[in-house]
Amino acid sequence: MAAPAPSRTEIAPGVHRLTRAEVNCYLIRDAAGITLVDAGLPAMWRDLVALLAEFDATPSDIDAVVLTHGHFDHVGMSRRLVDDHGVAHHVHERDRRLARHPYRYRHAAPRWIYPFRHPRAIPVIARMAAAGALAVKGIDAGGTLVPGEPLGVPGAPVPVFTPGHTEGHCALLLPAVGVLLSGDALVTLDPYTGAVGPRIVANAATADPHAALAALSALADTGARTVLPGHGEPWTEGVSAAVEQALRAGAA
C-alpha cells in the first residue's frame, strides 16, 4: 500500500505545517520573512519547495531555521539548506553538539527492544526510514536560543526551555497567535510505541524521562491554545489539558 500523501496545512495565521512519515516541521511567515522550525527528514525537501512556491518563494528565501533540538529527524533538510542556500540555523547551546552529530544521543532505554514490545510502531519507523531517517548529516548551528527572549527571526518565537528529551530541548512560543511549537517535549504520537494522545517520547529516544516530565510544567505555563508537536496531530484543546494527559501517560 502506498504511503499517505504528505499534507501542508495552515494551523494558525502565518503558521504552516509540513508532515511526512509522522514527522512535522513548521513554516512561519510574516511581514519580516520566513522561519522554518525544525528541518524534518530529507524526503520532506520537495514538500518544503512546493509550499514555498505557493508564496512565490524558494529555499533561499528562508531567513532562519530554528531547531527545537538536534535529533536526526529534526535536522534532515538542514545540511542542504546550509550548503546550497546559506540558511542560518539556531539551537540551544546544549544541543549544538547533537545538531552536529544527530545520531549520538543519550536514551534512557535500549532502542532495539521497542519494535518487539510495540509492534504497532514498526510501520511508523519504516516510513521514517524510507523518508531518509538513516542518512541525515549534521550541521553547525548557532547556540543562540535564550529561554524567555524572543529570537530576532521572522515570527519572533520565544524559546521555552524544556530539557529531558535532550539536554538543550526548547519549545517555541508564538504569543501573538497562542501557538506553542512543542518539538518533542510533548507529542501526540510516539514513533517508538505508536501510542497517540499527548505524551512525552518513549525512553528509547529520551535522555532523562524524569526531567522530560518535569519540563511539562514550563509548557503549561505558556497558556497556549494550540500545541503543534514534532510528531502527531495538532492539539487545539489548550496546553494545560495536553500536559495533564501527558503526565497521566507517564514515561514508556
The predicted structure's pLDDT at residue 111: 85
**Mean per-residue pLDDT for 213-238?**
98
- On the 0-12 / 13-18 / 19+ scale of CB atoms within 10 A, 91 is buried
Report the sign of the C-alpha dihedral through residues 137, 142, 145, 151, in that order.
Answer: negative
Instruction: Give pLDDT tens digits for 137-147.
Output: 999 999 999 99
Instruction: Give pLDDT tens digits for 196-205.
Output: 999 999 999 9
Say what angle helices 209-220 and 239-249 make with each other, to 10 degrees: 160
Residue among 102, 44, 40, 96 nearest 71 (CA)? 102
Residue 1 pLDDT class (50, 70, 90 cuts)? very low
The average confidence (pLDDT) of the chain is 95
Separation between Cα atoms, residue 213 and residue 145, nearest integer Å: 21
* Chain-centre distance for alpha carbon 82: 18
Separation between Cα atoms, residue 97 and residue 35, nearest integer Å: 22
Query: How do beta strands 88-90 and 158-161 pair?
Result: unpaired
The DSSP 8-state label assigned to residue 124 in this structure reads H
Quick count: other Cβ atoms within 10 Å of Cβ 88?
A: 15
At residue 98, φ and ψ (nearest 5 deg) are -65, -40
3-state SS, residue 97: helix
Radius of gyration from C-alpha coordinates of the chain: 16
Report the sign of the C-alpha dihedral through residues 40, 141, 51, 172, in that order.
Answer: positive
Separation between Cα atoms, residue 239 and residue 220, nearest integer Å: 6
Instruction: Give pLDDT tens digits for 164-198.
Output: 999 999 999 999 999 999 999 999 999 999 999 99
Contact assessment for residue 217 and residue 243, using Cβ atoms and an 8 Å cutoff: yes
Task: Please give the grid coordinates belonging to residue 154.
Answer: 521572522
Task: Please give the grid coordinates belonging to residue 33.
Answer: 520573512
Contact assessment for residue 74 and residue 68, using Cβ atoms and an 8 Å cutoff: yes
Residue 4 pLDDT class (50, 70, 90 cuts)? very low
Residue 2 pLDDT class (50, 70, 90 cuts)? very low
Q: What angle do CA 52, 54, 56 make, to 5 degrees?
A: 75
Share of the chain above pLDDT 70, in %: 97
Give this prediction's pTM: 0.94
Separation between Cα atoms, residue 13 and residue 223, nearest integer Å: 18
pLDDT at 113 over 90: no
